[in-house]
Amino acid sequence: MHSPLKVMVVEDDALLRSGLEVIIAAEDGMEVCGAAQNGLEALQLLETFRPDVILMDVQMPQMDGLTCIREIRKRDVALPILILTTFNEEEYIFQGLADGASGYILKGLDFEKLVQAIRDTVNGQFVLPAEVAVKVAQYAAGNSDFMKEQRLKQFFETNTQFSKSEHPIMALLLKRWSNKEIADSLFLTEGTIKNKLSVIYNKLGVQNRQDAIRCLESNFLN
């Protein structure tokens, strides 16, 4: 006989948290191994229990869900974490993806779909309801910084002309950061940044910062 699937619920709304506990406890092969009302409590419970999956709310007092996910990922990169979300939280959904969420489920989802989402997540599937996928796509399409970062990442993957050490400098150059700001961010001297930028300008066939930014944006990132 298989051990029951251990689920931790992290939700600050007491009514919703209790409802989730009841649904999970009533399901064959599942049990609630812990319930927390914020991220701090969740981290404390993790030291005691070893859940197979976590249901994580986003907006909570003391420690929000995204911060908690980042803390959990420092300890365990593989633990499945399903974010509990609502329609008006697409920016949190998007950030959760970057922070290491294993999927998303909508609050108010009927219990059969909820249980199936939990099982799918534990089995290694990424859970993303169609309604949420649309929201994520709309947010990404409307977020120019995100799209620019994705195009730059793709550019670096397909263009071997620039070294890996030059990649972060070019990314910050496109953000219009000064040499000092770039140096401080990368823990390098301004002189080192100036020398590296000279090499980058040479590879781009330009003479200065403005032309380098214009060249990158017009020729590579559109």
The percentage of the chain sitting over the pLDDT mark of 70, rounded to a whole number, equals 91
- Three-class secondary structure of residue 221 per DSSP: coil
pLDDT in tens, 21-57: 999 999 999 999 999 999 999 999 998 999 999 999 9
Quick count: other Cβ atoms within 10 Å of Cβ 56?
28
Angle between helices 90-99 and 130-142 (to 10 degrees): 90
Helices (H), the chain: 14-26, 39-48, 65-75, 90-99, 111-122, 130-142, 144-158, 167-174, 179-186, 190-204, 209-215
Residue 148 and residue 126 in contact, taking contact as beta carbons nearer than 8 Å: no
Q: How confident is the model at residue 134 (pLDDT cuts 50, 70, 90)?
A: confident
Is 1.10.10.10 the CATH number for 144-220? yes
pLDDT in tens, 189-218: 999 999 999 999 999 999 999 999 998 888
Question: In sequence order, what are the beta bridge partners of 82?
Answer: 55, 103
**pTM of the model as a whole:** 0.63
* Topology annotation, domain 5-141: Rossmann fold (3.40.50)
State how far the Cα of 112 lies from the Cα of 121, in Å rounded to an integer: 14
Residue 83: phi and psi, rounded to 5, are -85, 130
Question: In sequence order, what are the beta bridge partners of 103?
Answer: 82, 127
- Three-class secondary structure of residue 162 per DSSP: coil
Q: What is the pLDDT of residue 56?
A: 95
Q: What is the pLDDT of residue 157?
A: 78
Residue 85 and residue 10 in contact, taking contact as beta carbons nearer than 8 Å: no
Residue 160 and residue 143 in contact, taking contact as beta carbons nearer than 8 Å: no
Q: What is the pLDDT of residue 87?
A: 59
Question: In sequence order, what are the beta bridge partners of 127?
Answer: 103
Domain boundaries, the chain: 5-141, 144-220
State how far the Cα of 10 lies from the Cα of 51, in Å rounded to an integer: 12
